[in-house]
Structure 1
Amino acid sequence: MTHRPRIDLHTHSRASDGTDRPRAVLEAARVAGLDVVALTDHDTTAGWAEAADAVGDTGVALVRGTEISTRVGTQGGSISVHLLSYLHDPGDALLRAEWDRTRDDRLTRARRMTQRLAEDFPVTWDDVVAQTGTGATVGRPHLADALVAAGVVASRDEAFATMLHPGARYYVPHYAPDTAAAVRAVLAAGGVPVMAHPGAGARGRTVSDETIAELAAVGLAGLEVDHRDHDDAARVRLRGLAAELGLLATGSSDYHGTGKLNRIGEHTTAPEVLAQIEERGRLDVIRP
């Protein structure tokens, strides 16, 4: 029987808010029986080189990617949209400028949120920094880790569901580019833009099917359909919408090491879909 490659196109390392080093992400992928994994840290390519060096040792192929924080404006206010960009030029000036601006604002936002949390909980800025990997931008996951370390909550998930939730009084928004503009920027950099977990309602408001159609019209290439945060009904709806709009349908774990319950390889992408992503991207998949 011919082996069908197992492919996970959404993982994070300590370069952003994961707990594993990039090399360890590829090792975890090997242990899980994956053939291909994408490293998609938030608004950075800082983990790419280390992950690429691990390809030969682990035998796991690497798709280089980034998860970009964006926003869609609506009459009811803006909605956060995470955009996965695959195989883009890491030196593209526009993307790098947007990521720099986003990371700088994340840092300011994290300080403000820490100040608010410190009014009610035993957590300081030093506690938050201590939970942040070298070179990584401080974000909500690191605030969550500081709260766990202080015994305020039992897990990141509990922190995100309570005091770090967008509806909580401790929450502070951060800068993010317009989603349509980000799609265009990814395409200009030779990347392939796929919307991450578009039906994850537990994270906050999600965009409408009409908005997804508008983004498809400006070049959105796919939807992450199979994801832990989507129930069966959401997957059926999103798979049908992807087919209707001519978009790729991917599946991924959104692995963060021990930072989330998500298990690497728990959802996967068809090899035929990866082939189309590689055909469209500027970079090649790095293979053993």
Structure 2
Amino acid sequence: MPGDRRFEGPSDLHLHSVHSDGTESAAQVMAAAHTRGLRTVALTDHDTTSGWAEAAEAATSLGITLIPGMELSARNDWRSVHLLAYLFDPDDSGLRAEMERIRDDRVGRAERIVRSIGRDYPLTWDDVVAQTGDNATVGRPHIADALIARGIVGSRGEAFDTILSPQRGYYEGHYAPDIEVAVDLVVAAGGVPIVAHPTPSGRARMMAVPLLERLIGRGLAGFELDHRENTEAGKRVLRGVVETHDLIVTGSSDYHGLGKPNVPGENTTSDDMVARIISLGTGSRPIYP
């Protein structure tokens, strides 16, 4: 409703549950957010909306406003790009078909990785399935959890630093749409697209500014600048882009439960920026307590 400010207070717009690669149920994620004093959150599981209903019920009971969201897999040439999408229509045919294609290919990719690892370590596909929640988007974190359960590694971090490192030869790519296509799909579904952790270090480095300018022209709404993986140099560049185009800036934890050290509310999004996201989203609405 116009002028509704029930979302005011600390807001974290990037959290994951077992519906993708988090370690907690959607309800447990909402409880963790509540414990940390958050008033507004977004569940943003990878390439799925299957946790929305559970999260909405839990958030409502806890007095938390839920912004329905997702983290959509995309690419820029060889580079993996993650696009946070808020308040889109989950039944939009174009976006839904792309989500299903991504998830289906992730399963095939995971099976190929496990077959390769299984030639050298005692790991099977059943081990991975046992670590994957119902309707979850399967990913390498689930393989890491299976390696932990087997006693082959001690943590997700160790798994990604060793066996799951691209340098070890087990890595497989997976399908993801070009970032320009991804932005178009989210906008067409009435959603608000924000680039997640846009200035990482290493090979995943920031997209070129001319490309970002094209994305802005297609409806990209902003950047998740306050995130522990962003580099300071990259953030300085993007702040200039934000100022030039009057974009949305978010801050988030990227919480994964025990899957990462990130804590709900370690970075937050201002009330004014949350209000802008709500005003732009036409595919779905916030769920207020």
TM-score range, shorter chain: over 0.9
What do the CA deviations read for 1:34-62 (whole angstroms, capped 9, x no partner)? 01000001111000011111122111110
Separation of aligned partners in 1, 2:83 and 2:42: 14
Q: Which residue does the alignment assign to 2:245?
A: 245
Correspondence 1:48-59 to 2 at 5 A? 48-59=52-63
Q: Provide the alpha-carbon RMSD of the alignment.
A: 1.6
Shift of 1:154: 2.2
Letter in 2 for 1:50: E
Residue 29 in structure 1 maps to residue 33 in structure 2: yes
Q: Which residue does the alignment assign to 2:3?
A: none
Count residues with an aligned counterpart: 282
Shift of 1:228: 1.1
Residue 85 in structure 1 maps to residue 89 in structure 2: no
Q: Describe the shift of the 1:92–1:144 C-alpha distance in structure 2 as closer, same or farther (beyond 3 A).
A: same
Unaligned stretches of 5+ in structure 2?
1-6
| One of 64, 70, 76 as aligned partner of 1:72 | 76
Contact 2:95 2:186 in 1 (8 A): yes
- Amino-acid identity (%): 52
Separation of aligned partners in 2, 1:6 and 1:70: 29
SS at match of 2:67: strand
SS at match of 2:55: helix
What do the CA deviations read for 1:13-48 (whole angstroms, capped 9, x no partner)? 111111111111111110000010000011110000
What do the CA deviations read for 1:53-87 (whole angstroms, capped 9, x no partner)? 112211111000011001112xxxx2111001000
Contact 2:201 2:231 in 1 (8 A): no
Q: Describe the shift of the 1:167–1:213 C-alpha distance in structure 2 as closer, same or farther (beyond 3 A).
A: farther
Separation of aligned partners in 2, 1:157 and 1:221: 32
Separation of aligned partners in 2, 1:171 and 1:129: 19
Contact 1:202 1:229 in 2 (8 A): no
Q: Compute the TM-score of the two structures, normalised by the length of structure 1.
A: 0.93
Q: Which residue does the alignment assign to 1:285?
A: 286
Q: Compute the TM-score of the two structures, normalised by the length of structure 2.
A: 0.93
Separation of aligned partners in 1, 2:161 and 2:203: 8
Tell me whether 189-198 or 164-173 shows the greater mean CA deviation: 164-173
Correspondence 1:111-150 to 2 at 5 A? 111-150=111-150
Unaligned stretches of 5+ in structure 1?
none
Q: Which residue does the alignment assign to 2:42?
A: 38
SS at match of 1:197: coil
SS at match of 1:54: helix
Separation of aligned partners in 2, 1:67 and 1:56: 22
Residue 184 in structure 1 maps to residue 184 in structure 2: yes
Contact 2:8 2:39 in 1 (8 A): no
Shift of 1:152: 2.4
Residue 19 in structure 1 maps to residue 19 in structure 2: no
Q: Which residue does the alignment assign to 1:151?
A: 151
